[in-house]
Amino acid sequence: MSINDITVVITSFKSGKVIEKCLNSINSSCKIIVVENSDNLDIKKNIEEKFTNVECHLTGKNLGYGKANNIGIEKVKTKYVLILNPDTILHPMALENFLKATKEDPSFAVIGPYIQEKDKENENYKKSFGEKNLLSVENVKGFAMFLNILEFKDIGFFDENFFFYFEEIDLCKRLKNLDKKIYLTPSIKIDHAGGKSHDKSINREMELSRNWHWMWSTFYYHKKHKGFYKSFLIALPKLVSALYKIIFYTLIFNKEKKIIYYYRYLGLFNAIIGKSSWYRPKV
């Protein structure tokens, strides 16, 4: 096996210079597919001129994380695909170490890297691994997922009803229901900035969108796997809390906090009444 057995798929949304740092960290002999969730021809032209191993596909509009990843995966012809966020940086030998990990259990479905976001979380993982290189887990974080394409034939990939949030947890849940194997490995290190994959100029609107979709996806995920009534009981405290905070921040004239919790309430309310994840950031 070689780097040529891997295709990297990156879903972006007006990621600007951030994605270039990511692309620079990937072995130049590895094929990369970028799915840009817009109709911005300048982004496509800029990326493909600077990186000869990259194909950039424009969706025409913001389709969301899961659907855009599915579009990228459909174009993959290799045995393995590495799903990456634009705000990630691969450490040297990351791709080679993914390939080494596959030899330990060729029937794996997903391998995730050693978590690089929080120091405390890193310490917890170190204790969990001990002397092992592959640690069986229920799910991995969506910023970097190494997929064995053959293991997805009977399950498909991301549920496109999620716009973003919970799509990777849902995918792992469906894999585990079929006794598929999901691992973490400490030999692969990928830095993830987290929430910084877009241009700073749209931070506020993206924050509102994140709050709306976090609540929508939370309810939808639980409803899908536990049914409506259990999900409603799980969501009810969140709904009451959001309403309380809307009133509280209105009374103390904190407009910014009020708007955030209003969007959280709207996302959850829309999910409860069965509306799709229709909200899109206004950028």
173 and 216 inside one domain: no
Rounded to 5, what percent of the chain is helix, strand, coil?
Answer: 50, 15, 35
pLDDT value at position 228? Answer: 98
Q: Is residue 281 part of a domain?
A: no
180 and 137 inside one domain: yes
pLDDT value at position 110? Answer: 98
pLDDT value at position 77? Answer: 96
Q: Which of 40, 41, 10 is nearest to 24 (CA)?
A: 10
217 and 106 inside one domain: no
pLDDT value at position 185? Answer: 92
Name 111's bridge partners. Answer: 146, 183
pLDDT value at position 2? Answer: 87
9 and 109 inside one domain: yes
List of E strands, 88-194: 88-90, 110-114, 135-136, 144-148, 182-192
Q: Is residue 279 part of a domain?
A: no
As a dihedral over the C-alpha atoms of residue 85, residue 88, residue 93, residue 96, rounded to 10 degrees, the angle is: -10
Q: Is residue 283 part of a domain?
A: no
**How many domains does the chain divide into?**
2
For the four alpha carbons of 126, 128, 134 and 139, in that order, the dihedral sign comes to: negative
Q: Is residue 43 part of a domain?
A: yes
- Point out the domain boundary residue: 164, 192, 220: 192
Q: Which residues contact 235 (CB under 8 A, 6 or more apart)?
A: 218, 219, 222, 268, 271, 272
Residue type, 221: Y
18 and 94 inside one domain: yes
DSSP-derived 3-state class of residue 38 = coil
Q: Is residue 282 part of a domain?
A: no
Q: Which of 264, 125, 229 is nearest to 184 (CA)?
A: 125
- Point out the domain boundary residue: 192, 225, 245: 192
100 and 181 inside one domain: yes
Q: Is residue 139 part of a domain?
A: yes
pLDDT value at position 204? Answer: 87
9 and 133 inside one domain: yes
Contact between 268 and 216 under an 8 Å Cβ cutoff? The reply is: yes
Contact between 180 and 151 under an 8 Å Cβ cutoff? The reply is: yes
- Point out the domain boundary residue: 124, 159, 192: 192
Q: Is residue 280 part of a domain?
A: no
173 and 252 inside one domain: no
pLDDT value at position 196? Answer: 57
171 and 210 inside one domain: no
Structure tokens at 162: 């999620």
Length of the chain: 283
Q: Is residue 278 part of a domain?
A: no
Give the pLDDT of the chain (283 residues) as one tens digit per residue: 788 999 999 999 988 778 999 999 999 999 999 999 999 999 999 999 999 999 999 999 999 999 999 999 999 999 999 999 999 999 999 999 999 999 999 999 999 997 755 555 555 555 655 556 899 999 999 999 999 999 999 899 999 999 999 999 999 999 999 999 999 998 899 998 876 555 666 788 889 999 999 999 999 999 999 999 999 999 999 999 999 999 999 999 999 999 999 999 999 999 999 999 999 988 7
102 and 223 inside one domain: no
Look up the CATH number of the domain holding residue 56: 3.90.550.10
100 and 158 inside one domain: yes
Residues of the domain holding 204:
200-272
205 and 172 inside one domain: no
